[in-house]
Amino acid sequence: MIRGSIVALITPMHEDGTVDYQSLEQLVEFHVNAGSHGVVAVGTTGESATLPVDEHVKVVETVVKQAAGRIKVLAGNGANSTSEAIELTKLMANSGIDAFLNVTPYYNKPSQKGLIAHFEAIAECSDIPQILYNVPGRCAVDLLPEAVAHLSKHPKIIGIKEATGSIERLKEIKALVPNDFSLLSGDDETSFAFLQNGGHGVISVTANVAPAEIASICNLCAEGQYAQAKEIDDNLQVLHRDLFVESNPVPVKWAMYRMNKIKHCVFRLPLLPPEPNSQKVIEQALRQSGFIND
């Protein structure tokens, strides 16, 4: 089972927009040392939408090599074209990852039957386990609990990152899937409640900034120590909120730059660095939660 704190890893870049592989390796080491249970390479937070296939694969391979089996590595393999997602999946089949993270196909708005057929076709093309990723706020399609229940019967589909932020949705899914089906929060603001209500872990944007804290929350919740976990989470609520002051991953990448964890805050168009007012909001959140002091 995939569980615990999984970091939705950013992809650092040089000033010319090329991937900064040295900084990427340093980030992986940072998360290993902080006690994270895993990372997602080139998920949506890793700017998968603007990385061509060759870079996508190289980033994943770099993360796997640096992790060296010390933490789990998941790789984003989603696309709005099933054939494209299958191609990407096959290219990473021998990369050494532990699982794929497969986002719902965006823009097309398929039916529930179409979603099921999409995910099953991708699962059939590789022996590596697949984790579903439901984020209707970004993809304009919602993978409903009944469809998740159907997909959970597939031997290669082992969990879901559920990013609706709804605890009722978690309860619905939990009642329909096997006990060993990984239930992972994809919404930082409600992630503690998700864990408290039977979730197994988080795939977290905030964990880029606060890996030790998010890992501690997951560990404490696994032990039933919810009061201690809530105390940590309460201090992170400002980050959970303000790291989304603009579209992800713009604020979190700027936060990592402000914390000197990456050399440059560079994106590929159409993304740009955050507006000055947003930078002030993010800085204040970092100060309030204790991650910068200047």
Residues annotated catalytic, as ranges = 133, 161
- CA end-to-end span of the chain, whole Å? 41
Burial of 73 from C-beta contacts in 10 A (0-12 / 13-18 / 19+): buried
Q: Is 203 annotated as a binding residue?
A: yes
Kindly state the tokens that stand for 61: 């391979």
Alpha helices for the chain (secondary structure H)? 21-34, 53-67, 82-91, 112-123, 136-139, 145-151, 167-176, 191-196, 211-222, 226-242, 250-258, 276-288
Least Cα distance to 49 among 138, 120, 115, 134 occurs for 138
CA distance 170 to 117: 23
Q: Is 173 annotated as a binding residue?
A: no
**Residue list, annotated binding site:** 45, 203
Query: Annotated binding residues for pyruvate, as ranges?
Result: 45, 203
